[in-house]
Structure 1
Amino acid sequence: MPCGTRVPSVCATAAGRQRCSVASTLRWVAQRVLRGAGAVARRGMGHGHCSCRPSGEGRDWRSWIIAVGLVEWTHPSAAAVTTVIRQMSGEGVIQLTPLYGANDTDAMCYLLEIDDCRIMLDCGWDERFDERHLEALATAINDVDCVLVSHADISHLGALPYAIGQLGLDCPIYSTQPVWRMGSMFMYDAWQRLTARAEFDLFSIDDVDSAFDKFKTVTYAQECHLTGRGDGIVVTPFQAGHSLGGAIWRIVKDTEQIVYAVDLNHSRERHLDGTVLEISCPRPSVLITDAYNGLTVMTTKRNERDAQLFDAIRACLDGGGNCLMPVDTAGRVLELLVLLHSKWVSARLDQSYTIAFASHVAQNTLDFARTYVEWMSEKCQKQFDQMRENPFDLKHVVICQSLEEVLALRQPALVLASSLFMEMSFAEDLFIQWASDPKNLVMMTTAPRVPCLATTLLQKPTPKSVQIVRRYRVPLEGAELREYEEKRKEQEASVAKEESESESDEEDAEEDDGMARPGGAVGQATAMFKRGLKLTPSFPMYGFKEVVRSSDIYGEAIDFSEYAPPETNPDGISANPSGAAESASALLESATTIPAVPTKALTEHLTVGVRCAVHFVDFEGRMDQSSIKTVIKRVLPRKAVLVHGSAQAKDHIQEFLERELPNTSSVLIPDNQLSSVINSETNVFNVKIRDSLNKSLRFVQVGDYEVAYVDGRIVKSDDSRNRYPTLEQVAATAVPDRPAVYLGGSRMADLKKAIARAGIDAEFINGILVCAGGLVNIRKVTDHQVSVQGALCSQYFDIRRILYDQYQIL
């Protein structure tokens, strides 16, 4: 005779505390009640509730009530029950609004609202820094409680200085420490290359500092409990691959587990391991992920791509040409540097050709990269622990932080130059000089999807000429220089006069003590007179700004590059032109120093003939179509949200998920600035339980939690200060009979071991657990149902008892 049981699925996170299997059980109870399986009695009273609390000391006695009915309702629908209780409790709404980033040409910025808490997921910009793209951000910036940053590049955090300096964003920003540090490198480099070529005032270097002062760094798997309106929400980063310190963010509120995972890379690389999404975040309530490469099919393996890249570069250099490789500032360039340096060493090219890294912050980028070995792959950590080999001890890479240094290199040369867009950067300057020589090569490793010089060059066939708007600065001369000097002297005189008047006012304030103290009798009597003459005393204080130092769970971080000796390459060229590693503050001082000769910005329209070769080898470090499908199938989200991809890519992934994942209830594709409700099917509400009812509950241990079955009645409080409704006890005679609920459970392999320990033979045959020589067979029908079939003998009842012992029964 068959016997069916309910088996909860894999563990989830409940109440923002610990992972346990009870969340899936609660979800099943909610679905069962809402589907009408004994949910409402004839009298219209709610029935079939479940409450749980964390076990152990310091446990939270707040209870969760799942899918309750209401008095005077006769067979209420699921929607009606859910809506009324949400109105009573004022919570339970989760929605996502892409401010921008729904399309593959956008930077990324999404607003996640969980009840009253507003969490911004990334806050990116494109490398052109077009202010019009941030109109949606400006309207939604108010009342943001925190920002979660996933990667360090401009498309994920580039708008933060503008949002803080111009829009008034004022909240904590969470990221891993490498994202915080490398993100500052991205923004310093962007600010320097823009201000060195054009008039740029959207944000200042002080805005960049202010933005990164607000960062709170966390390590992988470190839980961070939000406060204020985010009370009860826990955010945790996990490894994303793609970039150093790149993070998947798991956001937990009660039994809702939301995973934000964009720009993932499942492949193991030279300095990074692949993503751990399917291991760290299985079966989330909602998965927010991108479909950027939803139509890209990767046909070559990593070793083949490595060979294609190096062979093309080697052929160019052997032919007497120079190779330009546009790269980002501090992201994917790290993987390319490690790869190319290893090839340079193995092929012994250091004596023949030069390899250089050119950006305004190249030296700082490598110095900081050396300090983050613990964030790299297990292989890199092992090499460092055993042999003290740091993957970023790149002895043959020459650092260039100006165009003059690049042009002074020994040629032929390979130059990795920022930026990816090849606009207003070293990459643009070198392309203009090298494009006319057919011996030269432009090697692309990333294909931007916004209109820019890089996308133009990647067209098939390669265009014979390109139009470039070149921006640059020239020193002022003649009348312009004299006019500038006169204005500067006037400004200096005006500032000196104001400072003198301010000092005089302060001296007067010190002489007359009564006037210097606000609120005094003399001060109040003459306040109007003093304001009219602008004599209101100031109360000067010493300037003070709290220095926010980076730290992790072990304390304040140490910058090991400060103790590193200067290195030289075999040619005698210093790998660090400035000697010891210069700090970020020193970089800022040099960046903000006013040039000795004033300059003006000019624009020039050029037509550049393209006679050099242009190749592309994919080193973006993102999952392709097949990998996206495989990873999502392993994660098994209950609901999926697709962002940051072309319409065709998102439609393709959506069709696949709807066909292959029947347990995924819906796959949403939101548009920019349109909100989507992304609540899972779990209906969890906070209520108050009266002491009399709480004492009558029989809790059983399930994982790290205690769970009880509740029969009660929801009553709205008359006190407006009481946010949550109250659950009251009902008479036992008013509660109809209900089926048993099985909580917990184990795998079939564990059940086989338990049966074997009882002295009963058991083995798997064609997926069926055959026990007692075939007298009893156990088969897993679905994820939530187990069938036990056999003759009614003593072995059958012994085996059934062992099966029941794997569960807690309510």
Structure 2
Amino acid sequence: MLTFKPLSGAAKSDRLVPLAYLLQVDDVHILLDCGSPDWCPEFDDGLNVSAHWETYCQSLKEAAPTIDLVLLSHGDLAHSGLYPYAYARWGLKAPAYSTLPVQAMARIAATEESESIRDEQDVDAGYQSDQPQDGEDKVEDSGERVDESGPSSAVQRKAKYVATPSEVQEAFDSINTLRYSQPTHLQGKCQGVTITPFNAGHTLGGTIWKIRSPSAGTIMYAVNMNHMRERHLDGTVLMRQGGGIAPGVFEPLARPDLLITDAARADVLSSRRKDRDASLIDTITAALSSRSSLLLPCDASTRVLELLVLLDQHWSFARLKYPICLLSRSGREMLTFVRSMMEWLGGTVSKEDVGEEVTSGGRDGGKRGKKRKKDNDEDDDVIGAFALRFKHLEFFLNPQALQQTYSSKDPKLILAVPASLSHGPSRSLFADFASIPDNVVLLTSRGEEGTLSRVLFDRWNNAQRAEDKWDKGKIGSNVMMDGSLSIELRSKVALQGTELEIFLQRERAAKEKQTAEQAAMARNRQMLEADEDDSDDSESDSDSEDEAEDVERALGDDAGDDDANGMQVDKPPPEVKAPRRRRQKGSSLDGDGQDTNKDWSRSLTLGMDLDAADEGGTRQLLSFDIYLKGNVSKTTSFFKSAGGKEGAQRFRMFPYVEKRRKVDEYGEVLDVGMWVRRGKILEEDSNEDAREEKEKEEEAKRAPREPPSKFVSRIVEVQLACRLLFVDLEGLNDGRATKTIIPQVNPRKMIIVHGSPSATEALIDSCSNIRAMTKDVFAPSVGESVQIGQNTSSFSISLSDDLLASMKMSRFEDNEVGYVTGRIAITASSTVPILQPLSNAPTSPSTTTSTSTSSPSPMPLRTLPDRPRPIGSLPTLRLPHSTMIGELKLTALKSRLASIGIQSELVGEGVLICGTKGGGGLSLGESLGESVAVRKVGRGRVELEGGVSDVYFRVRKEIYGLHALVAA
């Protein structure tokens, strides 16, 4: 059973991005795309965009730990932007798959967004959704805006789920990359599921995912496709010229069991590509010729490549000298990645262009060749550097660097990120750029709902005539903007004056407090260690005393007894206690109490305080250099006390320690040397890790420290005086292409996502008017679950050993199938019924018995007598019923026939002529005889027409070989 649930980007919705869908195939939970919205919307029209995003993020957060597989289709923020945050913060650790360009482009786009937003706002602490008043400066301290003129109003904080740059790198490093048409058989919980990526167009590495499940069949996830060939990409592989089941559709993607596709532009009629390019180039040339500048907002990784190739070709053809400025932190890195992935490119940018550039470079001799070599970037030695060199392109990290190089009066074309104009360089440039007359703002995408880019697009579209609007297939004209527009600009500024002094004072106080806490912790640790040493010494002293008592008890020795020579041995009175002395590790004390620093393996120091009452506590310490163990005999004391009196001290001699083999509790001999060696290895590893951590800390200390700063937001009133033009360069299918491709794919069931209400209804109406098109079309809304196959009843049954032994299995694809006939028996020892062969059932030629649970004894049933058989006639035998499993593909049959020497040709829709002579351009041997025709006349029906010949039987045999024959 299949369950599909849109988390965002559903059908019949005005908010088309981001895209994220949950697909459950049996017990496998698959996340299709994980996009992020624009985190900095405009506060207008009460769209409640932030609430929609919050709902989406909470739904994804709840589902993240249960997801088993993640598939990313495109490398932009709308499809992959939220994956780093979900991976790092929400536990989305499931295996993720994408193509190599999608991984690289998504990493660049997410890094660009993370650094750009974090340089303007404190996203970890949240933000306020209340809009500041005109002329007021707001300072964001710990993520909250504070009105400098007075107390702030009620705060409504919303989280911005923006990952850190390090989290972005870690998340995308964990993605598994695949090549186009590379089937991957998954393991673990996803065992049995096979995924295959195919080219979708639109973006570099854009993917159509084909998911194959033994129980659910074939599922195809195809969103944001483009069938048109562009300058840097080929069109989608879904549309390919050729015959077969559906002419024009790539055979492996035809007739899926479920198609998940989008209807974003199903009601849009796009203009011709030639007209769009001409309008863009004419506008740019006219503006630069009049000494004006152009601002072209763009994305950081995907669609900007098409713009760069188009502009570079025009600059080279027209020999323009105006600069093309790209404001992006990751522009150079993006081009470096693209140059290393030339095999993924198409269109006019290909490996052949590399060879032509290298050849032309070789022909250039002398100064011209040296100049060409000098103009190359430092990374031109990689593959594809000549094809994507972009000699007229200049990179800038921020608007300040651009202003230092070119003044506002110099004509130039500026490509600034992001395309939505909601934050970053494009927004800050627009505030100054739009107020200059004759400047031009060029939009190449509509932008998300609630962004500044969508606001400008709506102004341009409303200013066009009804027949020239963007969705009518015409190219509109540029409009002169007037009036004013209030926008909020956020930035990070360094602290100065009193604010800097206050910050430094707080920092010093925090350091002092931290130092005091560390000192207190160190003192507490020392006290704990001292207490531990005291407890160890007391335990060792008590152990030695207990051992001495055990020896005396074993010898029968009491206080005041005679020694071996008949002398009385005095024992210290019980009230005189020997003072405890802490012994340091690795040292021993001599008789005077001095440290002798002898290198003994182990030493025991005993001290006795004799006649403490008379001598005022004078103490004499006795030390033994070796540790003696075992029972010893009594001896006469020859040590004198400090007062001259003889003291009694028993000492031990002639030690003997029995060496025993050390074994564990299971009797295995312990190899001490092995553990010592392993301990050394672990110690070395820990030392290396500590050394690496220390090096990282030193590098962090050596890195230049960022000056103290604060986040400031201000409202700017922009007087609009520039020109505005929209040219559609999103690179997506329009309504005509969508309504043509889907019926040719001819899915058995279809789910529509990512479409406005009008576009969704237009696609549903188009499919319903086609008789051969499926009627099972679903368009779920956000949070709505669609179940496919819920009416199928499943039962658990166990096959007996006799039945398994009698089954004849046939192999079909990755499975083995067989036909079984038997009776169900229920045993008292098992709750699962058992299917047994019919031969085990009691049968009789004349009677048949039936057992009922309500009757204690079987009741015979009367049957009709056998009809007399004529004398000499053979008994009638029932032919076994056979079933052929599989679906014939004429292209597969043609390949198999070619391998055995039979040539064939597709001459029409669903007709394959085999063994054709002469007219068809095929020549066969004379032994093959006449030709035959293989025709598909319906679902599961194949006709083979032709005379009885060798070709007929060989073709029929190959048709049978493409199916699994199951006989009853």
Same fold by TM-score, threshold 0.5 exceeded? yes
Instruction: Give the equivalent residue in structure 2 for 1:673.
Output: 783
Instruction: Give the equivalent residue in structure 2 for 1:741.
Output: 883
Q: For the aligned residues, what is the CA RMSD?
A: 4.4
2:808–2:818 contact (8 Å) kept in structure 1: yes
Pair 1:408 & 2:316 matched: no
Instruction: Give the equivalent residue in structure 2 for 1:436.
Output: 435
Deviation digits for residues 54-87 of structure 1, max 9, x if unmatched?
xxxxxxxxxxxxxxxxxxxxxxxxxxxxxxxxxx
Sort the Cα spacing of 1:150 and 1:787 in 2 relative to 1 into closer, same or farther, 3 A. closer
Matches within 5 A, 1:280-319: 280-300=252-272, 302-319=273-290
Provide the C-alpha distance between the structure 2 equivalents of 1:696 and 1:444, rounded to a whole number of angstroms: 71
Matches within 5 A, 1:159-174: 159-174=82-97
Pair 1:266 & 2:227 matched: yes
Q: Structure 2: which amino acid aligns with 1:117?
A: V
Instruction: Give the equivalent residue in structure 2 for 1:25.
Output: none
1:365 to 331, 334, 352: 334
Instruction: Give the equivalent residue in structure 1 for 2:937.
Output: 781
Q: CA deviation at 1:250?
A: 1.8
Deviation digits for residues 444-469 of structure 1, max 9, x if unmatched?
11111412111111122265232212
Matches within 5 A, 1:703-722: 707-712=817-822
SS at the partner of 2:508? helix
Provide the C-alpha distance between the structure 1 equivalents of 2:179 and 2:491, rounded to a whole number of angstroms: 41
Higher relative contact order (CA 8 A, sep 6+): 1
Sort the Cα spacing of 1:804 and 1:759 in 2 relative to 1 into closer, same or farther, 3 A. closer
Structure 2's unaligned 5+ residue stretches are: 41-49, 125-159, 239-248, 359-383, 464-478, 541-682, 844-876, 917-928
Provide the C-alpha distance between the structure 1 equivalents of 2:495 and 2:89, rounded to a whole number of angstroms: 30
Pair 1:223 & 2:219 matched: no
Instruction: Give the equivalent residue in structure 1 for 2:6.
Output: 98
Q: Structure 2: which amino acid aligns with 1:111?
A: L
Q: CA deviation at 1:414?
A: 0.6
Q: CA deviation at 1:148?
A: 1.4
Provide the C-alpha distance between the structure 2 equivalents of 1:507 and 1:165, rounded to a whole number of angstroms: 38
2:101 to 173, 178, 197: 178
1:147–1:174 contact (8 Å) kept in structure 2: yes
1:251–1:258 contact (8 Å) kept in structure 2: yes
1:467–1:606 contact (8 Å) kept in structure 2: yes
1:646 to 733, 756, 763: 756
Provide the C-alpha distance between the structure 1 equivalents of 2:81 and 2:908, rounded to a whole number of angstroms: 57
Q: Structure 1: which amino acid aligns with 2:39?
A: R
2:743–2:773 contact (8 Å) kept in structure 1: no
Instruction: Give the equivalent residue in structure 1 for 2:294.
Output: 323
Provide the C-alpha distance between the structure 2 equivalents of 1:243 and 1:505, rounded to a whole number of angstroms: 61
Q: CA deviation at 1:649?
A: 0.9
Sort the Cα spacing of 1:286 and 1:594 in 2 relative to 1 into closer, same or farther, 3 A. farther
Matches within 5 A, 1:241-256: 241-255=201-215, 256=217
Instruction: Give the equivalent residue in structure 1 for 2:306.
Output: 335
Instruction: Give the equivalent residue in structure 2 for 1:110.
Output: 21
Q: CA deviation at 1:690?
A: 4.6
Q: CA deviation at 1:737?
A: 7.7
Sort the Cα spacing of 1:261 and 1:505 in 2 relative to 1 into closer, same or farther, 3 A. farther
Sort the Cα spacing of 1:716 and 1:384 in 2 relative to 1 into closer, same or farther, 3 A. farther
Provide the C-alpha distance between the structure 2 equivalents of 1:392 and 1:229, rounded to a whole number of angstroms: 43
Q: Structure 1: which amino acid aligns with 2:110?
A: M
SS at the partner of 1:709? coil
Provide the C-alpha distance between the structure 2 equivalents of 1:149 and 1:446, rounded to a whole number of angstroms: 22
SS at the partner of 2:254? coil
Q: CA deviation at 1:593?
A: 6.7
Deviation digits for residues 692-723 of structure 1, max 9, x if unmatched?
33443334465676653333567899999x9x
Q: CA deviation at 1:609?
A: 2.2
Q: Structure 2: which amino acid aligns with 1:138?
A: K
Pair 1:487 & 2:506 matched: yes
Instruction: Give the equivalent residue in structure 2 for 1:13.
Output: none
Instruction: Give the equivalent residue in structure 1 for 2:452.
Output: 453
SS at the partner of 1:408? helix
Q: CA deviation at 1:324?
A: 0.6
Provide the C-alpha distance between the structure 2 equivalents of 1:238 and 1:450, rounded to a whole number of angstroms: 30
SS at the partner of 1:677? strand
1:193 to 78, 100, 116: 116
Provide the C-alpha distance between the structure 2 equivalents of 1:767 and 1:205, rounded to a whole number of angstroms: 54
SS at the partner of 1:113? strand
1:271–1:380 contact (8 Å) kept in structure 2: yes
Q: CA deviation at 1:147?
A: 1.7
Instruction: Give the equivalent residue in structure 1 for 2:679.
Output: none
User: Kindly, what percent of the aligned residue pairs are identical?
Assistant: 31
SS at the partner of 2:281? helix
Sort the Cα spacing of 1:752 and 1:616 in 2 relative to 1 into closer, same or farther, 3 A. closer
Deviation digits for residues 208-258 of structure 1, max 9, x if unmatched?
334224322222233333333222222222222111122222222215221
**Quick check: 378-387 or 667-676, which moved more?**
378-387
Q: Structure 1: which amino acid aligns with 2:96?
A: I
Q: CA deviation at 1:641?
A: 0.7
2:393 to 373, 397, 414: 397
Provide the C-alpha distance between the structure 1 equivalents of 2:284 and 2:37, rounded to a whole number of angstroms: 29
2:931–2:952 contact (8 Å) kept in structure 1: no
Instruction: Give the equivalent residue in structure 1 for 2:237.
Output: 276
Provide the C-alpha distance between the structure 1 equivalents of 2:800 and 2:225, rounded to a whole number of angstroms: 47
Sort the Cα spacing of 1:743 and 1:113 in 2 relative to 1 into closer, same or farther, 3 A. closer
Provide the C-alpha distance between the structure 2 equivalents of 1:515 and 1:165, rounded to a whole number of angstroms: 47
Provide the C-alpha distance between the structure 1 equivalents of 2:228 and 2:906, rounded to a whole number of angstroms: 37
Q: Structure 2: which amino acid aligns with 1:143?
A: T
Q: Of the two, which has the highest radius of gyration?
A: 2
2:31 to 120, 128, 150: 120
Instruction: Give the equivalent residue in structure 2 for 1:354.
Output: 323
1:595 to 703, 706, 730: 706
Sort the Cα spacing of 1:753 and 1:476 in 2 relative to 1 into closer, same or farther, 3 A. closer
Provide the C-alpha distance between the structure 2 equivalents of 1:248 and 1:360, rounded to a whole number of angstroms: 30
1:639–1:680 contact (8 Å) kept in structure 2: no
Q: CA deviation at 1:589?
A: 9.0
TM-score, length basis structure 2: 0.59
Provide the C-alpha distance between the structure 2 equivalents of 1:213 and 1:542, rounded to a whole number of angstroms: 27
Provide the C-alpha distance between the structure 2 equivalents of 1:763 and 1:266, rounded to a whole number of angstroms: 25
Q: CA deviation at 1:778?
A: 7.6
Deviation digits for residues 139-193 of structure 1, max 9, x if unmatched?
3223122321111211112222332344333333222222222212112211221
Instruction: Give the equivalent residue in structure 2 for 1:152.
Output: 75
1:204 to 141, 157, 164: 164
Sort the Cα spacing of 1:716 and 1:167 in 2 relative to 1 into closer, same or farther, 3 A. farther
Pair 1:624 & 2:734 matched: yes
1:237–1:248 contact (8 Å) kept in structure 2: yes
Q: Structure 1: which amino acid aligns with 2:740?
A: T
1:144–1:169 contact (8 Å) kept in structure 2: yes
Sort the Cα spacing of 1:329 and 1:752 in 2 relative to 1 into closer, same or farther, 3 A. closer
SS at the partner of 1:474? strand
Q: CA deviation at 1:657?
A: 2.1
Q: CA deviation at 1:482?
A: 1.7
Provide the C-alpha distance between the structure 1 equivalents of 2:729 and 2:352, rounded to a whole number of angstroms: 24
Q: CA deviation at 1:667?
A: 1.0
Q: CA deviation at 1:116?
A: 2.1
Provide the C-alpha distance between the structure 2 equivalents of 1:712 and 1:703, rounded to a whole number of angstroms: 26
2:800–2:834 contact (8 Å) kept in structure 1: yes
2:930–2:951 contact (8 Å) kept in structure 1: no
Instruction: Give the equivalent residue in structure 1 for 2:426.
Output: 427
Q: CA deviation at 1:337?
A: 0.9
Provide the C-alpha distance between the structure 1 equivalents of 2:894 and 2:209, rounded to a whole number of angstroms: 34
TM-score, length basis structure 1: 0.70
SS at the partner of 2:194? strand
SS at the partner of 1:142? helix
Q: Structure 2: which amino acid aligns with 1:398?
A: E
Provide the C-alpha distance between the structure 2 equivalents of 1:593 and 1:760, rounded to a whole number of angstroms: 73
